[in-house]
Amino acid sequence: MKADKKPAKKLEELGSKLVADINKGKNPTIEFSSRTLSNVVYDTKTKTLGLGEKQQQRTFFNVGHAKKFLQTLEVAKISKNLLDVGKHASLRDVFYMAKRTMHDSSINVVDDQVESDKALEDLELITDLSREQLNINANKMGSVAGNVVIEDSGDTINWAKLGSGGWSIPSNVEDIEFKSIKAKYVIYMEKQAVWERLHEDKFWEKQNCLIVTSQGQTTRGIRRLLQRLSQEHDLPIYVLADFDPWGFYIYSVLKFGSINLAHMSDTMTLQNARFLGVTADDVANYDLKKHFIKFKDVDLTRIKQISDYDWFKKNKEWQRQFKMMKDFGAKLEIQALSSKGITFISEKYLPEKIKKREFLD
């Protein structure tokens, strides 16, 4: 584990600043960007969600702020301890560590994980450090395979030599070192079963690419892994998901960021991600109408919301997709491709689409 002194130092500076306030007889104050929805803006230049100019203050001598102030410092203390001993904790761990009384009080510092999570998000903003840099991890999920050699925790690991399972992606990939990468692109897919299909068919070997999967939503560990592959090694990321509002949403979050993580867009978004499939055009091109799953009300509501996102609103190609989906009144799972034959996806669908560069941007 690399001992990164910077995050610990930033936390110390935060503490010293507050001690200085106290010594000067001033009200201890923390200042950081406001995270209210009205301050979340879509930056048309960087094409990501980010925070605007609004600042907020949190002061100790303020009935409305005092508890949050305390919670922020409690989480900062927990993170500092973790950094000092070189250990990592999960969000749930942090909650249990912060759920304690102080001195004679019978009131807990936090009673609900929502409180410690919020305090931690504030701390990310205050220090400009990600949760991962603060040694606090998200959920672990997902697998990867391909011609890549990495070094992690003292081990040299070859992603091409891990049998049918692949490498299990940790929740925190900040300390991984890439030793060698032989690949032209990365396919990220929502479904483990599709990953196992491509892996068994040696897709990554034949097509000279990497295959990455989670199960359902993309965890922060996976997003950071994809971002590092994309930024440090210039690999394009192709997203493979169901043809449904959820599949589009996965792509949207990966590429443009999310409201919750608007303050993290620079380390979390994937500028050069492209949507590979399944698209509305695939339905006709590969004769998949038979496998439509009829929209429920919630699907229609969701696709209307998504089509209204700033970054999709002026994108004709995407609006065309949304309209076609609405007109179909139906969605389609990627595994419907199996009806064409078990290796159809790896031998025909994907090679064809990638060759023709049929991406949505």
Q: Select from 103, 172, 101 the least CA-distant residue to 135.
A: 172
151-170 residues near its own copies, rule: CB under 8 A = 151-157, 161-170
Question: Which region, judged by CB under 8 A, interacts with its own copies, from 4-12, 233-241, 248-256, 329-337?
Answer: 329-337
- Report DSSP letters for 14-76, one per residue: HHHHHHHHHHTTPPPEEEEE--SGGGEEEETTTTEEEE-S-EEEEESS-TTTHHHHHHHHHHH
Output 99 or 326, the one with its CB closest to its own copies. Answer: 99
Q: Examine residue 139 and tell whether it contacts its own copies (CB under 8 A).
A: yes
Residue 134 and residue 112: Cα distance in Å, rounded? 20
Q: Which of 90, 231, 258, 272 binds its own copies (CB under 8 A)?
A: 90
Output 195 or 251, the one with its CB closest to its own copies. Answer: 195
Residue 209 pairs in a beta bridge with 185
SS3 23: helix
Q: How far is the CB of 83 from its own copies (least distance, A)?
A: 12
The continuous run of DSSP H or E covering 195 comes out as: helix 192-200
Catalytic residue among 42, 96, 188, 238: 96
Work out the burial of residue 325: count CB atoms within 10 Å of its CB; fewer than 13 is exposed, 13-18 middle, 19 or more buried. Answer: buried
CB 37 within 8 A of CB 43: no
Cβ-Cβ contacts under 8 Å for 58 (sequence gap 6 or more): 29, 30, 31, 32, 65, 68, 69, 72, 122
Output 59 or 215, the one with its CB closest to its own copies. Answer: 215
SS3 131: coil
Is residue 96 part of the annotated active site? The answer reads yes
Q: Which of 17, 26, 100, 289 binds its own copies (CB under 8 A)?
A: 100
Q: Which of 33, 71, 133, 137 binds its own copies (CB under 8 A)?
A: 137
135 Rama sector, left if φ>0, alpha if ψ -120 to 50, beta otherwise: left
Binding mask 169-208 for its own copies (x = CB under 8 A): xxxx--xx---------------xx-xxx--xx-------
Q: Which of 338, 348, 351, 359 binds its own copies (CB under 8 A)?
A: 338
Output 137 or 279, the one with its CB closest to its own copies. Answer: 137
Residue 240 pairs in a beta bridge with 189, 277
Q: Which of 3, 37, 85, 298 binds its own copies (CB under 8 A)?
A: 85
Output 51 or 75, the one with its CB closest to its own copies. Answer: 75
Q: Select from 172, 343, 325 the least CA-distant residue to 247.
A: 325
Q: Examine residue 93 and tell whether it contacts its own copies (CB under 8 A).
A: yes
CB 240 within 8 A of CB 194: yes
Q: Examine residue 254 and tell whether it contacts its own copies (CB under 8 A).
A: no
CB 18 within 8 A of CB 30: yes
Output 152 or 281, the one with its CB closest to its own copies. Answer: 152
Q: Examine residue 343 and tell whether it contacts its own copies (CB under 8 A).
A: yes
Output 44 or 153, the one with its CB closest to its own copies. Answer: 153
Q: Which of 2, 103, 290, 356 binds its own copies (CB under 8 A)?
A: 290
Residue 321 pairs in a beta bridge with none
Q: Which of 40, 141, 261, 273 binds its own copies (CB under 8 A)?
A: 141
Q: How far is the CB of 58 from its own copies (least distance, A)?
A: 25
SS3 93: helix
In one-letter notation, the amino acid at residue 19 is V
Q: How many residues bind its own copies (CB under 8 A)?
A: 61
In angstroms, how far is the first alpha carbon of the chain from the final one? Answer: 37
Q: Contact residues for its own copies (CB under 8 A)? A: 81-82, 85, 87-90, 92-97, 99-100, 137, 139-143, 150-157, 161-172, 175-176, 192-193, 195-197, 200-201, 215, 290-291, 333, 335-339, 342-343
Question: What residues are labeled active site?
Answer: 96
